[in-house]
Amino acid sequence: MKDARGVKNIAPAKSAKSAGGFTESTVQSVNKHQTSDTPHPASHHFSYFCTKFFPLKKKKQDFSHLSAKQPIGIFDSGVGGLTVAKEIKRLLPHEDLIYFGDTKHLPYGEKSREAIVGYSTKITSFLLEKNCKAIVIACNSATANALKEVLDLVDETVPVIDVINPVAEKVSYEIHNNVGVIATKATVNSGLYKKSIRKHNKFIKVDELATPLLVPAIEEGFKNHPITHSIIYNYLSNSKLKNIETLILGCTHYPLLIDEIRQYYGNRVRVIDSPSIVANQLKMILEKHHLLNDKNPDPKYQFYLSDLTKNFEKISKKFFGNSIELELKTL
C-alpha cells in the first residue's frame, strides 16, 4: 500500500517481536526495504522507536574460555598504577599480576588523544599476548581517551576494568552534593568524570580542575616535601574547589600524596580512595565469571617498563618486596 506521497508503507514483521522487546531482526526487516537512493522515512522512525522504547538485549558476556589460573594485566604511564596494583594484591592475594609501566611516555596527561590511544592499544595487545584473563586500565588519562579503543581491541575476549566508571558510579549513589575532581589535563578535557557521575545522578554538582604539576613531582620522588606541599596548596585553594564536600583523586598517581591532601582539608572534605574501589570492582567481576584464583600459594608479580627509572624501582619494591625484577620492554 502507498500513502499520499507515493511511498510504500512497510509493516513490521510480527514474528520479530520478543517478550523482552524487539530483536535486531525486527529493525532489519524494515530497514532492508529501503534503498540508499530513497531512504524510507517510516522505517527511520520505526528504528528509532524500537531502540528508544524497546532496547536491544545486550549479548551476555561469556568468559568460559578463560581460566582462573591466568594472570591479571595492569597498565599505567608510570608509578601511579602501582597504587591500584597494590590494592589488587591486598584484596586478591593469590592472583598472578603482570604490570606494564609506560615510563618512556609519561605523563599521559600532557599527550594528545591519538598518542594515548596508540600507547594504550599497544600495551593491551602485549598483555593479551601474555595470556591475561583481565585488563585493568590503571590510568585515568588512558581511560578518558582510549577506553573505547581498548574495548574494541579486546572484543569481549577478557573483562576490561577502568578507573573512572566504578568510582563515578559509587560516588553517584552515595550522599554527595558537590564533588570536586583533580586530574591531568587529558582527563579533565575529556569531561568523563562529570558525564559518568551525572549519568547516574544528574543532581550532583561536579567541578573538575586540571592539576598537571602533581604527576611530574611524584615521578621525581617528591613526597612530604615542601615542593608537593606548595603545589597541593596552590591547586586545592582554587576557587573551583571552594564549596566541594567530596574530592576524587582523578589520577592513580595522586593516592601517593593522599596523606598530604587529607592534611590540607582536615575533616572538611572526604577524599575518595579510588584504588580500593577499582580493586573491589575487579574482584566482583572475577567472582561473577568464576575466574577468581584463591588456590595459588605463590603468586608471581611481573613488571615491564618502557624505560627503567629509579623512582619506579623504589616504589614497586616498597609495595611488592625487594625480590621483584623489572624488565625493560619496548613495544
Domain boundaries, the chain: 1-58, 72-163+277-328, 165-274
Distance, CA of 63 to CA of 165 (rounded, Å):
21
pLDDT at 307: 96
How far apart, in Å, are the Cα atoms of 254 and each of 16, 80, 91? Answer: 52, 7, 20
Give domain 72-163+277-328's CATH number out of 3.40.50.300, 3.30.1540.10, 1.10.940.10, 3.40.50.1860: 3.40.50.1860
- Using one digit for the tens of pLDDT, what is the confidence trace for 117-164? 999 999 999 999 999 999 999 999 999 999 999 999 999 999 999 999
Note whether 72-163+277-328 and 165-274 share their fold.
yes
pLDDT at 238: 97
Give domain 165-274's CATH number out of 3.40.50.1860, 3.40.50.2000, 3.20.20.70, 1.10.10.10: 3.40.50.1860
577502568: which residue's cell? 162
Query: With contact defined as beta carbons under 8 Å apart, do 100 and 123 qualify?
Result: yes
Kindly state the helix (H) or strand (E) to which residue 195 belongs, with its residue range.
Answer: helix 192-200
Is residue 43 scored above 60 in pLDDT?
Answer: no
Number of other residues whose CB lies within 10 A of the CB of residue 126:
17
As annotated, the active-site residues are 139, 251
Average pLDDT value over all residues in the chain:
87
Is residue 44 scored above 70 in pLDDT?
Answer: no
517478550: which residue's cell? 19
- Using one digit for the tens of pLDDT, what is the confidence trace for 4-37? 444 444 444 444 444 444 444 444 444 444 444 4
Is residue 217 scored above 70 in pLDDT?
Answer: yes
- Using one digit for the tens of pLDDT, what is the confidence trace for 108-130? 999 999 999 999 999 999 999 99
* Grid cell at residue 290: 568464576
Strand (E) positions, the chain?
Answer: 17-18, 21-22, 72-76, 97-101, 134-137, 160-161, 178-183, 205-210, 246-250, 270-272, 301-305, 326-328
